[in-house]
Structure 1
Amino acid sequence: MLLEFEAMQKKVERKLKEMEKRVLFAEKQRDDALDKVKELRLQFYKTAARLEEEQGKNLKLRAQINRDYENSSIPSSKVLRRKKITNSREKTGRKPGAQPGHKGHSRKKQEPTRPAILLPPPEEVLEDCAFKKTARTIIKQLVRVRMVLDVTEYHADVYYNSQTGERVHAAFPDGVIDDVNYDGSIRAFLFLLNNDCCTSIDKSRKFLSDLTGGKLNISKGMISKLSREFALKTESERRTAYAEMLLSPVMHTDCTNARENGKNCQVYVCVTPDGKALYFAREKKGHEGVKGTVMEDYQGILVHDHDLTFYHYGANHQECLAHVLRYLKDSIDNEPERTWNKEMRSLVQEMIHFRKGFQPPQEPDLKKVSEFEKRYQKILETARKEYRDIPANDYYRDGYNLFLRMEKYMQNHLLFLHNSRVPATNNEAERLLRNYKRKQAQAVTFRSFESIDYLCQCMSMLVLMRLEESANIFDRGSKIFG
């Protein structure tokens, strides 16, 4: 019995050792599997992180590629892939031009400058006596334009005093100094071509030479000095406009980049609702650029884009909602899963449309304005919840930053609803800045900062001249040059 018991005990011990080996092997397999799972999990996390990062980069690149004048501050002239302009008007099937039953807009007849030419009757009238002359006469005009040189030559006899040796002659009229002098009409013509029509100096002088049959060949130096001469002669009028603009309750302002010998500088513009405008050339942006402009001493309401420098001037501020609409569209294009941007864009468009129905001295309905403000705040709450649940992508935070801005500067986005004199956009200032941008595109870069400064002064005066009732810029410019 003892031997059997020992045999059974040894057998059990062998099985226990085998079981222990199997347990150790299973534990080793389990540990290896867990290590492999851990390694795969780490690889998954790394891959997921890389995928998220690449998706963020793709979103950022896609946002950059798709940016145009509709969803960013890029001007339409800089867009490479131009879209077809949509036309929402229904087609009528009628041919373009005058329509039956409508009074036509014919060309205005001019006062004849020479005796009328009576055309002889046709041959068939002379040969057939059955034709009788009627009381009707058909009158048609042929209008031409020609450049005529008007040259006045002055002769002054020289008188010699035999006793004193003195020589004298009659005084020439004002402006007649050199052997050949050009009056204000020629200077105004070249000045307006170069600065208002944005043609180059070479093209301006060539055009005048062609008009006069090659008789007038003005030097480049004379044309380049016209801006300085015009600016100096109109300084008092610009100072008067400066003082009047300070009294305006609302003023638009904006700035754009300029180029001087390959370096960047700035051009500021200040515009009042009645049309007065002044341009200012500055070497730097920010507070240094504002010095000397109308903004520096202005105490009214400023309308501008989201340039924080402007918030240090004026008594109150209205942000340009045209920019906000474009930024909201950019957020809609790149964050289609969010709803706040669509709702906010629709609300802003509705508020602008509502505000257009009121003109000073009318004031908007306060109850309706209060409803707009509540809807505005509710949409901001929606945005906060959406960004809390799904944070903004690290590579595209423009939508989130826009939400924070519209929340912080809510009063400056809705000021136009409370004051009927305040416009919703800064289009006036941006429209006038395009005049400088056209000249900058033509010139590419200016040789000196003084050239940009004189150009800004001249552009300011041209805007002021167009506000006059008899706004003939050429005649007015001719009188200024004298």
Structure 2
Amino acid sequence: MSEDACPNCKKLEAQLANVLAELQDIKARLGLNSTTSHQPPSQDKPWTPKSERQKTGRSSGAQPGHKGKTLKMVEHPDEVVTLPVTGHCGCGQAWDTVTVSDELARQVLDLPEIRLHAVEYRAQVKICPTCHRREQAAFPAHVPGQVQYGPQIHGLAVFLNTVHFVPLKRTAHILQAICGASLSDGTIALSLNVAAERLAAFETELKTALLKEPVLHADETGSKVNGTLAWMHVVSCRQLTLYGHHEQRGYAALKDMDVLPRFQGTLMHDAWNSYFQLSAQHALCNAHLLREWRNLDEVHGQTWAGELRSAMQLVYHENKAGTLTAEGRAAFLGTFDALVQAGLDANPAAEPIAGQRGRAKQTRGRNLALRCQRHRDKVLRFLHDKQVPFDNNQAERDIRMACVKRKVSGGFRSAEGGMSFCRIRSYTSTLHKQGMNIWQGLVSIFRNDVLMPNFSH
């Protein structure tokens, strides 16, 4: 082959190598599932294992000592139906003439008839006989119009739509079928707006309380507004939840929520780059790392990832059980560093491609090893700070309901609707975490006497 053809051969070889790398990446992506990536379990094949938990040997279901829930009889029933003994005994004695010696009771617990309860307010009008001045009694503040629905109907509409993600039309159908209330989509939307407005003070106190927490969790997921991609964000802890809705996924959304830019504690997240712009201390979710290490080990055959995954699982369980010694911790840290270096050696840096601008694309294995090396202190923070958890499951549990909302009733008709939903959902989630009654809380909003959760736990 002529010398002039050699540059073309090298160019073809480089192109072929690039195509083969892309093909390998595509194959790897096709093999991903929830155990080896961030893919949600709903997209897994039915036979894919679902859990990272270690087998305990115990049978499934409730364990010995578990406090069960049994339907019990009420002490004071609302209605008593006496069932008399009638007829005659075999000897001919009429049962009507025999004194009752005992009664056996059984109860049926059911809902009463559900219908609208109409209360009519009649404001008296009087005319002074001396000066003929006309005076009228004032109507209550919650009765501004000629006819309106009460706080329980509005609370139920919000409960169905925001807590259980029932779409507006189906919410209207349910209310019509159950209690004969003919609410329009607009009336339900108005209820949501009123609830959001009256929860403004709650949200202000919630943000103040979150800033006092030592550890917060953060996550985000896609959310449509009129078919356009937007983002729902969550900042939470064990007792408090704040949701936010924004057209962007990055720092602008965090700034708009006005919590994390001011937070000085430890923030647990999944290594999304926008979080690293914050001044808080950082801790990374190790559940994400376990899945990525598993993928490298099982799909790409990189044993260093499998060994590191096993070592991390072992030290996590020992640390959780309180059996991890100082020597064991030091040994694990040495193992961690050695295996991460092995990952870098197994995935050498890709050379820049001639004529291609920007940095050369690195392999999945190298990027993961680099992340573990660069953010070593954040990955292992749970070993040195007892307040920091191992994973970001708190935020993922809180954001999961937004995914259910997206699947069940789609997106929002407006950005304002998304923000109203998030504020109401922040309220109901916080009530639920603190064991308070969500229904009573929603009704209290429309009585203009909002039931507040505990912000000083």
Q: What's the TM-score bracket when you normalise by the shorter of the two chains?
A: 0.7 to 0.9
- Paired AA for residue 393 in structure 2: N
1:280 to 244, 254, 261: 244
The aligned residue for residue 72 of structure 1 is 37
1:278 and 1:446 map into 2 onto residues whose CA distance is 18
Residues 70, 468 of structure 1: CA spacing in aligned structure 2 closer, same or farther, 3 A cutoff?
A: closer
Partner-residue secondary structure (3-state), 1:285: coil
| Contact 2:216–2:236, Cα closer than 8 Å, also in 1 | yes
- Following TM superposition, by how much is the alpha carbon of 1:476 offset from its aligned partner in structure 2, in angstroms? 2.0
Q: Give how far 1:44 is off.
A: 12
Q: Is the aligned partner of 1:126 residue 2:103?
A: no
1:251 has 2:219 as partner: no
| Percent identity (aligned) | 24
Is the contact between residue 348 and residue 366 of structure 2 (CA under 8 Å) also seen in structure 1? no
Which of 269, 279, 286 is the matching residue for 1:321?
Answer: 286
TM-score of the superposition, structure 1-length normalised? 0.78
In 2, distance between residues paired with 1:296 and 1:390?
Answer: 36
| 1:290-332 alpha-carbon deviations (Å, 9 max, x no partner) | 2133101011111101112211213321100011111112212
Assess if the C-alpha contact under 8 Å between 1:59 and 1:334 holds in 2: no
Residue matched to 1:417:
383
Which amino acid in 1 is paired with 2:390? A
Q: What's the counterpart of residue 434 of structure 1?
A: 400
SS of 1:447's partner is coil
Give the 5 Å matches for 1:310-459: 310-336=275-301, 338-358=302-322, 365-388=325-348, 397-459=363-425
Aligned to 2:171: 204
Asked if the contact 2:350–2:362 (Cα under 8 Å) also holds between the matched residues in 1, the reply is no
**What is the match of residue 205 of structure 2?**
240
CA distance in 2, matches of 1:437, 1:245: 23
Match of 1:308 in 2: 273
| Number of aligned positions between the proteins | 428
Measured at CA, do residues 111 and 203 of structure 1 come closer, stay the same or move farther in structure 2, by a change above 3 Å?
farther
Could you tell me how far 1:371 is from its partner in structure 2?
1.6
Give deviations 1:81-130, integer Å, cap 9, x for gaps.
Answer: 332667968798x9x9999xx9985312234544422323376x733579
Structure 2 length normalisation: TM-score? 0.82
Residue identity matched to 2:328: K
Give the RMSD, CA atoms, in angstroms: 3.8
Helix, strand or coil at the partner of 1:381: helix
More helix by percentage: 1
Query: Which blocks of at least 5 consecutive residues in structure 1 are unaligned?
Result: 1-34
Quote the Cα distance in structure 2 between the aligned partners of 1:43 and 1:135: 108
- 1:116 correspondence with 2:80: yes
CA distance 1:387–1:173, shift in 2 (3 Å)? closer
Distance 1:376 1:232, change over 3 A: same
**1:64 match: secondary structure:** helix
Over 3 Å counting, the alpha-carbon distance change for 1:141 and 1:287 in structure 2 is same
Task: Give yes or no for contact 2:267–2:283 (8 Å, CA) kept in 1.
Answer: yes
Match of 2:154 in 1: 187
Contact in 2 for aligned 1:364/1:418 (Cα 8 Å): no
Q: Aligned-pair distance for 1:139?
A: 2.2
Structure-2 separation of matches of 1:104 and 1:309? 45
Q: Using the alignment, how far apart are the partners of 1:260 and 1:480 within structure 2?
A: 26
Contact 2:226 2:414 in 1 (8 A): yes
Distance, in Å, in 2 between the alignment partners of 1:153 and 1:51 is: 82
Instruction: Give the SS at the match of 1:255.
Output: strand
Q: Deviations over 1:356-407 (max 9, x none)?
A: 224xxxx96433322211110111222233234999xx99821221011111
Aligned-pair CA distance for 1:182: 1.7
Contact kept in structure 1, 2:283 and 2:379, CA below 8 Å: yes
Deviation at 1:474, TM superposition (A): 1.2
TM-fit CA distance, 1:227 = 2.1
Note the C-alpha offset of 1:419.
0.4
- Deviation digits for residues 228-268 of structure 1, max 9, x if unmatched? 21122122222112112112111111122221122222222
Following superposition, the deviation at residue 165 of structure 1 comes to 7.9
Deviation at 1:133, TM superposition (A): 9.4
CA contact (8 A) 1:332 1:341 kept: yes
Residues 1:82 and 2:46 aligned together: yes
Question: Which residue number corresponds to residue 25 of structure 1?
Answer: none
Contact 2:315 2:324 (C-alpha < 8 Å) held by counterparts: no
Greater alpha carbon shift after TM alignment, 432-441 vs 109-118? 109-118
d(CA) in 1 for partners of 2:213 and 2:58? 45
Q: Does 1:299 align with 2:271?
A: no
C-alpha change, 1:446 and 1:89, in structure 2 (3 Å) is: same
